[in-house]
């Protein structure tokens, strides 16, 4: 698939077919992640594939504290503080399946990275390791799309329990939890963004 076609096909998907994924596809996707550039060539990235069903449920429900929010009133209470209507809609779609999408996906990838503890970060420059791991993650998401696979980047609010449970070493953080697989149905095309209003030449 041509690069620009892959970019156009990249989607967020939260519902999956139970179809297993060929191991070689998964390896290609993760190797594409490793090809991403990194700050100072320090690729402090590690990947955990959480496959065992019971271990996955224990890790997500009891240690990551992920849950499906089904109650409409609770959902509205969560989104009421969001000023952006598009963001509110994202929450309304995602909150009811936060745990389910991670339990039912054929594969669940946890992307970890090493960085300076946030309490010690004084400048934006010190966040370059965080920026680097997200280059890796986007490479992974694009590689998934090129393989006909899709997923969702779930960013934990608090991952200390998950890190302890999975034996993730001190100094490493969880950048994203990515359930992925073949989509149950393809989502609608992304709304086309317009470049012109965002493009500034020489000065804003």
* Contact of 20 with 107, CB cutoff 8 Å: no
How much is the pLDDT for 85? 87
pLDDT per residue over 111-148, tens digit each?
A: 999 988 888 889 988 888 899 999 999 999 999 999 99
Q: What are the residue ranges spanned by the domains of the chain?
A: 3-52+106-184
Tokens standing for 62?
């009891």
How much is the pLDDT for 70? 94
Across residues 60-68, what is the average pLDDT?
94
Average pLDDT, the chain: 93
The Cα 83–Cα 76 span in angstroms is 13
The Cα 115–Cα 195 span in angstroms is 33
Residue 61: CB atoms within 10 Å = 14
For domain 3-52+106-184, is the CATH number 3.40.109.10?
yes
pLDDT per residue over 159-195, tens digit each?
A: 999 999 999 999 999 999 999 999 999 877 777 889 9
Instruction: Check pLDDT > 90 for residue 42.
Output: no
């Amino acid at each position: 698939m041509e690069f620009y076609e892959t970019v156009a096909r990249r989607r967020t998907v939260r519902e999956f077919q139970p179809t297993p994924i060929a191991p070689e596809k998964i390896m290609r996707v993760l190797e594409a992640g490793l090809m991403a550039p990194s700050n100072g060539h320090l690729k402090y990235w590690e990947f955990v594939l959480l496959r065992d069903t019971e271990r996955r449920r224990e890790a997500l429900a009891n240690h990551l504290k992920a849950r499906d929010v089904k109650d409409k009133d609770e959902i509205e209470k969560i989104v009421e503080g969001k000023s952006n209507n598009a963001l509110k809609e994202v929450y309304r779609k995602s909150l009811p399946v936060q745990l389910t999408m991670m339990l039912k996906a054929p594969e669940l990838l946890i992307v970890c990275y090493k960085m300076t503890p946030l309490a010690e970060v004084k400048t934006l420059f010190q966040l370059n390791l965080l920026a680097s791991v997200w280059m890796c993650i986007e490479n992974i998401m694009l590689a998934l799309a090129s393989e006909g696979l899709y997923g969702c980047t779930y960013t934990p609010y608090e991952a200390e329990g998950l890190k302890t449970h999975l034996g993730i070493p001190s100094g490493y953080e969880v950048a994203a939890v990515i359930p992925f697989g073949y989509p149950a149905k393809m989502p609608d095309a992304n709304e086309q963004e317009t470049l012109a209003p965002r493009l500034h030449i020489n000065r804003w």
